[in-house]
């Protein structure tokens, strides 16, 4: 390894090397030092914000020394690395996670207390890093945690958005979006002003033959935007391994800032140029499961992909290996199709810049990439218009056409004369305008394609990618069922449950080997254990009840059944089915005698989630939920029997409060539409049961925990197509109970019914695409079973213990090990444990 410091001077460096602190006193010393020097404050003006800042900086210092060691080790060992390309990383807060992963939370707690602060208050100062929309972005965050915890040499590459997902406010029952400017103070990132990449856009391509008769393409002209690296350390749990997440920020390239204009007095337009460059990484697109084809989004994608690949290739070139070894050294995983341009960019680098021939380059490319698909919804499958491409990335479009030509030639050889097949699988859709089908490009340019739950992987193999299975054979297509990190989603979110489990399974080992949870089965009928278990659930519900009171003003009874649905608002996820069910329950209660009401299990229906700003139907659903709550919550006939709550601004840190507090959570998508779901796993892992459809990972959860421990309902994926056909071309009569619900809405019981006409109309008049009416009866019946089951608390608790005991499979560690073995072919590379990890149990 090359180094700037000569051999003789290195001893001094070694002698004075930064050492991570471990003791409480050292922690306090660091906090005080940061308050007094880094922040230029003192004990007389150190508020909670400053204490948060100083505590974070103290942990950041620790992480960065380990980060350095990890990176040196990885560079020195020169083994294969993984690069996870994702436009979203929904990280949430970092301080609590850092403290727990390095095993020093108790040290910090005592230290902060001696300095006059409560650790919870300090943790709560942190602004979520919300660079993602929902499940896809949170999955990327769980994967980073697992890759570091398992000692894989792995980097995440993403965009450093100035504005993450918007903050949601509810005003008069409507969603209002407020920008999320989160970078005011972010101690977790390291600007690397020396790591910059200039990225080209627009311009044209000049082709010629060189002296050897070789075809050469030169992409020239256009404009340059500079990418600056910001590094975020990712600490593994109970290991020194600290990986890197590199996020790119855009700014004007120095040559581009037009000093001529500046000097000639055209100050405004030179500033405008700067701002245009910065626009690229300004804002996260707030759509979940939806492609809108905006030029700026394509710019974001290329900017991020080009900077990341330049970085990866530069690192590879330092090793002086032959190009053919590239796929032995590097695995790149594409998180959905958003980074698919990386395939084209690597091919461009190899043929245009490095002079390899097409076939040699293409073998390298396809052996490097893996592609994960996260949806079958047609409106989410990315397509880019050819004219837009032609203008922004002219050379890339040529390469795509060449990739497509060679691909279609191979299809023609395999299926001679099948012109329909060629039209179906072409990367270019022959529409007006022509479109580039990014999923097809991703398949053709990768060596493995995976779905994220068994049903989903089966569906992509038999529907949207069917032809490609015929072309490439079945082995290219595989399944890796999603997982979640038990560190954040059990240990951090539910410390008391984690502690109880640790006390019965011999320490915190279960957090690294989640199958150890199996040992809990023997306590499923243990009276003492069940009592503690139930107390923890109750305490978590009390905490949520307090949060509900403080944010909505509504008092909820913590003994009531907490029924929670928190996720992005989407018609396919069917929050409308849930709220119609709530209205049905309201009607039922209103019709009951006082005696009958006494027998009913009280319920709190809790909703949370953001609607994409342009998604009117989703916003209408939010509006209805809020209006139903306003009526039900103050109806004296109802009292504690039913409360309806909409929690504003659902995000990762709120999920950490909400998830441990459920009795039942809802995962009720139309069968075949939710690729996996991951909150289903989080809720069960925290001792909640679920009501759900046979969709996504619900099916595998059922297989693992047993069908007695889950409330399944509704039509199956295989029947959806026929039902939709009947709605459109046969007779379509609505469920009579649903009709009563609609009648109540139409009577203006929840405000002017005009506001909800589009919602009820989508079901009554427009084909009920999501099968709300078809599943309504089954849903209501199953909710009644939930009521009954909840009355027998003893059995209920046993069910939840057995379920937790059987959730080991859903650790994202299992998931990452599967990717490593089946797709990446990488091995862990542990870092020596010389330094001071906390030994907290
Ligand atoms: N997912 Br595509 C998103 O959160 N956003 C998207 O744009 C797309 C998929 C989700 C799936 O809806 C969810 O079922 C899955 O669990 C998650 O990705 C992670 O795979």
Residue 647 burial class via C-beta count within 10 angstroms: exposed 0-12, middle 13-18, buried 19 and up: buried
Ligand 1 center–CA 381 separation, angstroms: 12
Residue nearest to atom 8 of ligand 1 (CA): 289
Ligand 1 center–CA 652 separation, angstroms: 15
Active-site annotation holder among 93, 567, 619, 799: 567
ipTM: 0.99
Sign of the Cα pseudo-torsion (301, 303, 307, 310, in order): positive
Residue 833 burial class via C-beta count within 10 angstroms: exposed 0-12, middle 13-18, buried 19 and up: exposed
Q: What angle do CA 217, 222, 228 make, to 5 degrees?
A: 100
Cα radius of gyration (the chain): 28
Domain boundaries, the chain: 19-77+94-127, 78-93+129-402+437-479, 557-793
Cβ partners under 8 Å of residue 574, min gap 6: 668, 669, 670, 770, 772
Is 453 in contact with 697 (CB distance < 8 Å)? yes
Catalytic residue status for 678: yes
Secondary structure (3-state) at 231: strand
For every residue of 184-222, DSSP letters joined together read SS-TT-EEEEEEEEEEEES-EEEEEE-TTS-EEEEEE-S
**Closest C-alpha to 455, from 698, 683, 679:** 698
CA distances for 431 relative to 385, 423, 609, angstroms: 9, 11, 36
Confidence of residue 447 (pLDDT cuts 50, 70, 90): very high
Report pLDDT for 833: 74
Q: Is 139 in the pocket of ligand 1 (CB under 6 A)?
A: yes
Name the strand (E) or helix (H) holding 738: helix 736-746
Catalytic residue status for 567: yes
What length does the chain have? 841
CA–CA separation, 545 vs 337, rounded Å?
40
Judged against a pLDDT cut of 60, whether residue 839 lies above it is answered with no
Q: Which of 288, 485, 682 to mutate to test the pocket of ligand 1 (most atoms within 8 A of CB)?
A: 288
Looking at residue 236, what DSSP letter applies? P
**Closest ligand 1 atom to the C-alpha of 482?**
20
CA–CA separation, 298 vs 293, rounded Å?
8
Residue nearest to atom 1 of ligand 1 (CA): 136
Q: Could you report the per-residue pLDDT of 459-499, keeping only the tens digit for each?
A: 999 999 999 999 999 999 999 999 999 999 999 999 999 99
CA dihedral 33→35→37→39, nearest 10 degrees, is 150
Query: Percent of the chain beyond pLDDT 90?
Result: 94
Catalytic residue status for 568: yes
Secondary structure (3-state) at 614: coil
Would you state the structure tokens that stand for residue 685, as one six-digit string? 């892992």
Active-site annotation holder among 93, 456, 682, 799: 682
Ligand 1 center–CA 143 separation, angstroms: 14
Would you state the structure tokens that stand for residue 266, as one six-digit string? 């055209």
Q: Could you report the per-residue pLDDT of 791-822, keeping only the tens digit for each?
A: 999 999 999 999 999 999 999 999 999 999 99
* Domains 78-93+129-402+437-479 and 557-793 agree in fold: yes
Looking at residue 452, what DSSP letter applies? S
**Closest ligand 1 atom to the C-alpha of 137?**
4
Confidence of residue 836 (pLDDT cuts 50, 70, 90): low
Q: Is 482 in the pocket of ligand 1 (CB under 6 A)?
A: yes
Name the strand (E) or helix (H) holding 384: strand 383-385
Cβ partners under 8 Å of residue 210, min gap 6: 216
Is 601 in contact with 559 (CB distance < 8 Å)? no
Q: Is 351 in the pocket of ligand 1 (CB under 6 A)?
A: no
CA–CA separation, 255 vs 273, rounded Å?
12
For every residue of 355-376, DSSP letters joined together read ---HHHHHHHHHHHEEEE----
Query: Percent of the chain beyond pLDDT 70?
Result: 98
Report pLDDT for 271: 85
CA dihedral 286→290→291→297, nearest 10 degrees, is 10
Q: Could you report the per-residue pLDDT of 329-382, keeping only the tens digit for each?
A: 999 999 999 999 999 999 999 999 999 999 999 999 999 999 999 999 999 999
**Closest ligand 1 atom to the C-alpha of 456?**
14
Residue nearest to atom 3 of ligand 1 (CA): 136
Q: Which of 675, 683, 693, 701 to mutate to test the pocket of ligand 1 (most atoms within 8 A of CB)?
A: 675
Ligand 1 center–CA 480 separation, angstroms: 14
Would you state the structure tokens that stand for residue 729, as one six-digit string? 């071309």
CA–CA separation, 257 vs 198, rounded Å?
13
Would you state the structure tokens that stand for residue 167, as one six-digit string? 């903050």
For every residue of 69-124, DSSP letters joined together read HHHHHHHHH---EEEEE-S-EEEE-SHHHHHHHTT-HHHHHHHHHHTT--HHHHHT
**Closest C-alpha to 687, from 526, 792, 535:** 535
CA–CA separation, 767 vs 763, rounded Å?
6
17 φ/ψ angles, rounded to the nearest 5 degrees: -50, 140
Place of tokens 């209205």: 583
Catalytic residue status for 541: no
Report pLDDT for 765: 95
Active-site annotation holder among 93, 167, 338, 374: 374
Tell me which CATH homologous superfamily contains domain 78-93+129-402+437-479: Glycogen Phosphorylase B; (3.40.50.2000)
Secondary structure (3-state) at 370: strand
Confidence of residue 841 (pLDDT cuts 50, 70, 90): very low
Q: What angle do CA 188, 19, 826 make, to 5 degrees?
A: 65
Average pLDDT of the chain, as a whole number = 96
Residue nearest to atom 9 of ligand 1 (CA): 374
Ligand 1 center–CA 773 separation, angstroms: 25
Is 454 in contact with 482 (CB distance < 8 Å)? no
CA–CA separation, 215 vs 31, rounded Å?
61
Ligand 1 center–CA 380 separation, angstroms: 10
Is 208 in contact with 216 (CB distance < 8 Å)? yes
**Closest C-alpha to 618, from 740, 739, 758:** 758
Report pLDDT for 196: 98
**Closest ligand 1 atom to the C-alpha of 675?**
14
Is 437 in contact with 467 (CB distance < 8 Å)? no
Would you state the structure tokens that stand for residue 522, as one six-digit string? 């023997």
Looking at residue 569, what DSSP letter applies? -
**Closest C-alpha to 337, from 395, 293, 397:** 293
Structural class in CATH, domain 557-793:
alpha beta
Cβ partners under 8 Å of residue 841, min gap 6: 502, 507, 508
Q: Could you report the per-residue pLDDT of 265-299, keeping only the tens digit for each?
A: 777 877 888 999 999 999 999 999 999 999 999 99
Catalytic residue status for 383: no
Ligand 1 center–CA 681 separation, angstroms: 14
Would you state the structure tokens that stand for residue 328, as one six-digit string? 């032995």
CA–CA separation, 572 vs 741, rounded Å?
20
Report pLDDT for 218: 97
Average pLDDT, integer, range 744-757: 98
CA–CA separation, 746 vs 761, rounded Å?
11
Count Cα neighbours of 839 within 13 Å in the Cβ-side half-sphere: 4
Active-site annotation holder among 340, 368, 588, 678: 678
Terminal-residue alpha carbon distance, the chain: 38
């Amino acid at each position: 390894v090359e180094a700037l410091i000569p051999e003789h001077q290195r001893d001094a460096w070694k002698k004075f090397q930064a050492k991570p602190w471990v003791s409480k006193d050292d922690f306090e010393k660091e906090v005080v030092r940061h308050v007094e020097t880094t922040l230029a404050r003192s004990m007389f003006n150190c508020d909670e914000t400053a204490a948060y800042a100083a505590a974070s900086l103290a942990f950041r210092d620790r992480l960065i020394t380990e980060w350095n060691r990890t990176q040196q080790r990885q560079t020195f060992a020169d083994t294969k690395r993984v690069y996870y390309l994702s436009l979203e990383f929904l990280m949430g807060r970092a301080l609590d996670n850092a403290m727990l992963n390095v095993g020093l939370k108790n040290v910090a707690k005592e230290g902060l207390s001696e300095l006059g602060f409560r650790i919870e208050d300090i943790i709560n100062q942190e602004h979520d890093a919300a660079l993602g929309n929902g499940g896809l972005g949170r999955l990327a965050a769980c994967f980073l945690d697992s890759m570091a915890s398992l000692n894989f040499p792995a980097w995440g590459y993403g965009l450093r958005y100035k504005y993450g997902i918007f903050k949601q406010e509810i005003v008069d029952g409507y969603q209002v979006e407020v920008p999320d400017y989160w970078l005011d103070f972010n101690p977790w990132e390291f600007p690397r002003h020396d790591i910059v990449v200039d990225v080209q856009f627009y311009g044209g391509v000049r082709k010629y033959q060189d002296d050897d008769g070789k075809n050469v393409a030169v992409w020239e002209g256009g404009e340059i935007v500079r990418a600056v690296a910001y590094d975020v350390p990712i600490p593994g749990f109970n290991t020194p391994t600290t990986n890197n997440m590199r996020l790119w920020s855009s700014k004007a390239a120095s040559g581009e800032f037009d000093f001529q204009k500046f000097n000639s007095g055209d100050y405004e337009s030179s500033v405008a140029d700067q701002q245009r460059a910065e626009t690229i990484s300004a804002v996260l697109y707030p759509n979940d499961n939806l492609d809108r084809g905006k030029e700026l989004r394509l710019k974001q994608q290329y900017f991020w992909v080009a900077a990341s690949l330049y970085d990866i290739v530069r690192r590879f070139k330092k090793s002086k290996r032959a190009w053919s070894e590239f796929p032995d050294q590097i695995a790149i995983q594409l998180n959905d199709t958003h980074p698919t341009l990386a395939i084209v960019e690597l091919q461009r680098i190899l043929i245009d810049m490095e002079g390899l021939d097409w076939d040699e380059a293409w073998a390298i490319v396809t052996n490097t990439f893996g592609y994960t698909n996260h949806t079958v919804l047609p409106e989410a499958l990315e397509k880019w218009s050819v004219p837009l491409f032609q203008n922004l990335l002219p050379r890339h479009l040529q390469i795509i056409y060449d990739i497509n030509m060679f691909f279609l030639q191979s299809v023609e050889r395999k299926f001679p004369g099948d012109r329909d097949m060629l039209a179906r699988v072409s990367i270019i859709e022959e529409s007006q305008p022509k479109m580039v089908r990014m999923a097809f490009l991703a398949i053709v340019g990768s060596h493995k394609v995976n779905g994220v739950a068994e049903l989903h992987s089966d569906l992509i193999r038999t529907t949207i990618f069917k032809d490609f299975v015929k072309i490439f054979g079945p082995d290219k297509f595989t399944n890796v069922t999603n997982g979640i990190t038990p560190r954040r989603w059990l240990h951090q979110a539910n410390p008391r449950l984690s502690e109880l489990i640790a006390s019965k399974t011999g320490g915190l080992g279960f957090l690294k080997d989640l199958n150890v949870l199996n040992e809990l089965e023997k306590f499923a009928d243990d009276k003492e254990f069940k009592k503690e278990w139930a107390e923890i659930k109750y305490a978590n519900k009390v905490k949520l009840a307090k949060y509900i009171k403080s944010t909505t003003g509504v008092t909820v009874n913590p003994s009531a059944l907490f029924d929670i649905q928190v996720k992005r608002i989407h018609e396919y996820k069917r929050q409308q089915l849930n709220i119609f069910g709530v209205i049905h329950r309201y009607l039922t209660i209103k019709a009951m005698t006082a005696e009958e009401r006494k027998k009913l299990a009280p319920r709190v229906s809790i909703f949370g989630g953001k609607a994409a700003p342009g998604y009117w139907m989703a916003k209408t659903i939010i509006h209805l939920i809020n209006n139903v709550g306003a009526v039900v919550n103050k109806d004296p006939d109802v009292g504690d029997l039913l409360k309806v709550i909409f929690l504003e601004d659902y995000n990762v840190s709120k999920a950490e409060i909400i998830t441990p507090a459920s009795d039942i959570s809802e995962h009720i998508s139309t069968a075949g539409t939710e690729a996996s779901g991951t909150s289903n796993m989080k809720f069960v892992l925290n001792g909640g049961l679920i009501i759900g459809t046979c969709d996504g990972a619900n099916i595998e959860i059922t297989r693992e925990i047993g069908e007695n421990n889950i409330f399944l309902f509704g039509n199956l994926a295989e029947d959806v197509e026929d039902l939709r056909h009947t709605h459109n071309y046969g007779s379509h009569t609505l469920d009579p109970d649903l009709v009563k619900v609609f009648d109540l809405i139409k009577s203006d019981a929840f405000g002017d019914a005009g506001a909800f006409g589009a919602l009820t109309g989508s079901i009554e008049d427009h084909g009920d695409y999501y099968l709300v009416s078809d599943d309504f009866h089954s849903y209501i019946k199953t909710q009644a079973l939930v009521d009954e089951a909840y009355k027998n608390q003893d059995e209920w608790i046993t069910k939840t213990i057995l379920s937790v005991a059987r959730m080991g499979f859903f650790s994202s560690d299992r998931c990452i090990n599967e990717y490593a073995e089946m797709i990446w072919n990488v091995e862990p590379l542990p870092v020596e444990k010389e330094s001071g990890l906390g030994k907290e149990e």
